[in-house]
């Protein structure tokens, strides 16, 4: 009989990514609703110290998979290691962050387990022991409420959505021998951004620019810096070559849910709106009062971004100092 909730965390270079706290917090809420235990899984190399940190978010047990072969994420090594470690647990529910890593791992594990997977969920509700997950489809144009048949029910949670909750526990920490199995992939190089840039999907604030920037993202960068946020872009701005593909917000780009999304010179094509519609507060600044973006915004400003945005940066800096 499948029992218990497992939350698979994600760390990079020995530090948890924010989504890990979200996943364990949500795992705790699901476990409470099902009256069962929550096991957090930590995977990596030299990560034993992380077990203590994650207890504070409500795990009853922490399973640490510590092996040099798990230093960098590789689908086969992680899937083999996690599947072997979880085999004796036979969990009813597995939650994981829907990040680049989490989506890849969740899909591989679900196939191995012949299990249903609800990807990129923005809400999880438990009623009478039954779990309903809400997930945006068509890039957020439609929301689906889904249930999963069988066990485990694999639920990947959209980053930046689930509230983080501290629930102090003293968890049992287990460090089982790691069974990597056959690993064929190798990581030959990592090219990571430096300089403490805020990652788009983790950012609390995103300042995004479109065609209206004419390619000048300087004032947007400045506002993002003042707000401690990240800079995004519309598809047209990326197609023009003004920004990298990884900055693109939209149905064919990144799907983001920051607390504050400031759209500058973005008209609001359906496929762009799809990528940011779950943002908590949306501010639109555009010269064209008829731009469709205003229909999806909470606060609108009709004006020249090159005049307004620097003033906003100045006002933000003033209020913060």
Partner 1 sequence: MDIVVLVKQVPDTESLVQIAGDGVSIKKEEIKWVMNPYDELAVEEALRIREAKGGSVTVVSVGPQKAQETIRTALAMGADKGLHVHDPLAEGSDALATAKLLAAAVKGLAFDLIICGQRGVDEDNYQVGAAVAEFLNIPQISLVNKAEVLDGRIRCHRVVEGGTVVVEAPLPALFTTQRGLNEPRYASLPGIMKAKKKPLEVKTVAELGLDPAAVGAAGRKVLIQALRLPPERKAVRMIRAETPAATAAELVRILHTEAKLI
**Window 201-260: residues binding partner 1 (CB under 8 A):** 201-202, 205, 227, 238, 244-246, 248, 251-253, 255, 259-260
Contact 262, 242 (CB under 8 A): no
CA distances from 257 to 83, 163, 214, 218, 279 (A): 30, 13, 25, 23, 4
CB nearer to partner 1: pick between 45 and 271: 271
132/140 Cα distance (integer angstroms): 18
Among 107, 123, 164, 173, the residue binding partner 1 under the rule CB under 8 A is: 107
Residues 117-136 vs partner 1: string with x where CB under 8 A?
A: xxxx-----------x--xx
Query: CA 266, CA 233: separation in Å to the nearest integer?
Result: 9
> Is 49 or 259 the residue whose CB approaches partner 1 more closely?
259
Q: Of the listed pieces 40-48, 62-70, 167-175, 266-274, which binds partner 1 according to CB under 8 A?
A: 266-274
Span 276-295, contacts to partner 1 by CB under 8 A = 277-278, 281-284, 294-295
Residue nearer to partner 1 on the CB measure, 39 or 278 = 278
Q: Which stretch binds partner 1 (CB under 8 A): 31-39, 58-66, 108-116, 206-214?
A: 108-116
Q: Which C-beta is closer to partner 1: that of 75 or that of 175? A: 75
The secondary structure of residue 153, as a DSSP letter, is E
Among 188, 241, 290, 321, binds partner 1 (CB under 8 A): 188
Cβ neighbours of residue 11 under 8 Å, at least 6 residues apart?
A: 17, 20, 42, 43, 44, 47, 50
At 205, is the secondary structure helix, strand, or coil?
A: strand
Give the phi and the psi of residue 261 in degrees, each rounded to 5.
-120, 120
Nearer to partner 1, 48 or 104 (CB): 104
Residue from 165, 125, 126, 168 nearest 143 by CA: 125
Nearer to partner 1, 7 or 148 (CB): 148
Closest to partner 1 by CB, 171 or 297: 297
Residues 133-154 as b/e (b if ≥16 CB within 10 A, e otherwise) read bebbeebbeeeeeeebeebbbb
Site for partner 1 in 44-73 (CB under 8 A): 72-73
Task: Name the minimum Å distance from CB 120 to partner 1.
Answer: 6
294 to 313, contacts with partner 1 by CB under 8 A?
Answer: 294-304, 307-308, 311-312
């Amino acid at each position: 009989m499948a029992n218990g909730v497992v939350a698979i965390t994600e760390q990079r270079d020995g530090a948890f990514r924010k989504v890990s706290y979200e996943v364990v917090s949500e795992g705790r809420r699901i476990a409470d609703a099902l009256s069962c235990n929550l096991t957090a899984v930590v995977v990596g190399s030299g990560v034993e110290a992380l077990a203590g940190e994650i207890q504070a978010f409500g795990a009853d047990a922490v399973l640490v998979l510590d092996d040099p072969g798990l230093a960098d994420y590789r689908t086969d090594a992680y899937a083999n290691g996690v599947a072997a470690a979880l085999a004796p647990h036979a969990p009813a529910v597995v939650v994981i962050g829907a990040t680049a890593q989490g989506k890849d791992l969740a899909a591989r594990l679900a196939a191995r387990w012949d299990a249903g997977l609800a990807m990129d969920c923005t809400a999880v509700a438990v009623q009478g022991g039954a779990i309903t997950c809400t997930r945006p489809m068509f890039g957020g144009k439609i929301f689906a409420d889904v249930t999963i048949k069988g066990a485990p029910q694999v639920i990947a949670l959209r980053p930046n959505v689930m509230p983080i909750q501290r629930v102090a526990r003293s968890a049992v920490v287990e460090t089982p021998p790691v069974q990597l199995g056959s690993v064929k992939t190798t990581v030959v190089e990592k090219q990571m951004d430096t300089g403490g840039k805020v990652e788009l999907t983790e950012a609390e604030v995103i300042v995004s620019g479109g065609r209206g920037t004419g390619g000048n993202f300087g004032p947007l960068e400045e506002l993002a810096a003042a707000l401690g946020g990240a800079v995004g872009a519309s598809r047209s701005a990326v197609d023009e070559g003004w920004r990298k593909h990884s900055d693109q917000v939209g149905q064919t780009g990144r799907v983001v849910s920051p607390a504050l999304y400031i759209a500058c010179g973005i008209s609001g094509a359906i496929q762009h709106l799809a990528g940011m519609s779950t943002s908590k507060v949306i501010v639109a600044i555009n010269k064209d009062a008829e731009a469709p973006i205003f229909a999806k915004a909470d606060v609108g400003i009709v004006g020249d971004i090159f005049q307004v945005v620097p003033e906003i940066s100045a006002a933000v800096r003033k209020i913060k100092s």
